[in-house]
Every structure is written in C-alpha cells, then in structure tokens.
Amino acid sequence: MKKPSPLTFLLAAIVLSTVLHFLLPLQQLLKFPWRLVSILPLLTGIALNLSADQIFKRYNTTVKPFEKSNALITSGVFRITRNPMYLGMTLILLGIALLMGSITPYLVVIAFPILVDHWFISPEEKLLENTFGDQFRQYQRQIRKWI
C-alpha cells in the first residue's frame, strides 16, 4: 500500500482544522486584530519549505520520502533542524490555527507532528542511516529532529 505524501497529510490537516473550527469552535482564544500574529508562523513555515526544497534541488537529490538520497544535506536550514519541511508544515498549521482563533484547530497542530514522525520521519531516518551510516549518526547527534 502506497503511503500518502507529506503534502497530502498537510492538506488533510488544513481541511480538518477548518472543519473543526467551523463545526466545534468550543472557545475563541484570539480575536481580530490579534489573529494577525498568524502571519509570522505562516510565513516562517512557507520560507522553511521553500528553502529546504531549493537545497534539495541544489544537491540534486530527492525531496520525496522513501526514495534513496544521493546526498546527506547538513547546510542551510538543515543546520537548524533535521526536518525543516515538516517543521515548516507544522508552523503553517499553527498559523492557520492562530488565524482561525478557536481552540479546536490546535488538536490538529498537536497531532500532525506526531503522525508525521511515525509515518515519515522515522522511516526516512532509517533509510538515511542505512545510506550514510556514521555520517548520518553524527548529524543526528548534532542537530535536533525538530528544533
């Protein structure tokens, strides 16, 4: 069975956040204009994803999960986090939750990185360890999984 892509996960999380907000808003945490603070995590998340994608292209290696990489990238945003794209997606979800202002979208913000870690990060890191061995283990010791 083919696993869904991280982008599919993100889009499903955005839809779920929106549905939860409109069907079960429970409590409004933020009112306008305070919701505009959402711009910061949204833009940061987008920037992390675009930056990581450019680095993958520069090193001519795959951005797709579960495909063998031909380079272990440790520069740019990968000096801050081993998973800048997943962190970026989580920040995008946080930005959306802040923009909506209600409490229920935060359930998705909490669940998303847990699911991503299980479905994507752990298997990807095993593949990287098998491919790059000690070089990846050294990188793992130096740079955190998230932040």
What DSSP string runs through 57-108? HHTT---STTSPPSS---SGGGGT-S-HHHHHHHHHHHHHHHHH-BSTHHHH
pLDDT value at residue 1: 66
pLDDT per position as a tens digit, 118-139: 999 999 999 999 999 999 999 9
Cα 113 from chain centroid (whole Å): 7
CA distances from 96 to 9, 27, 39, 51 (A): 15, 16, 9, 20
User: In the predicted model, is pLDDT for residue 48 greater than 80?
Assistant: yes
Give all domains of the chain, ordered by start, each with its CATH number. 6-142 (1.20.120.1630)
Contact in structure between 95 and 40 (CB atoms under 8 Å)? yes
Mean pLDDT of 88-102: 95
Half-sphere exposure of 113 (CA within 13 A, CB side): 18
pTM of the entire structure? 0.94
Closest CA to 93 of 57, 27, 48, 55: 48
Mean pLDDT of 66-88: 95
The Cβ of residue 19 has, within 10 Å, a number of other Cβ atoms equal to 13
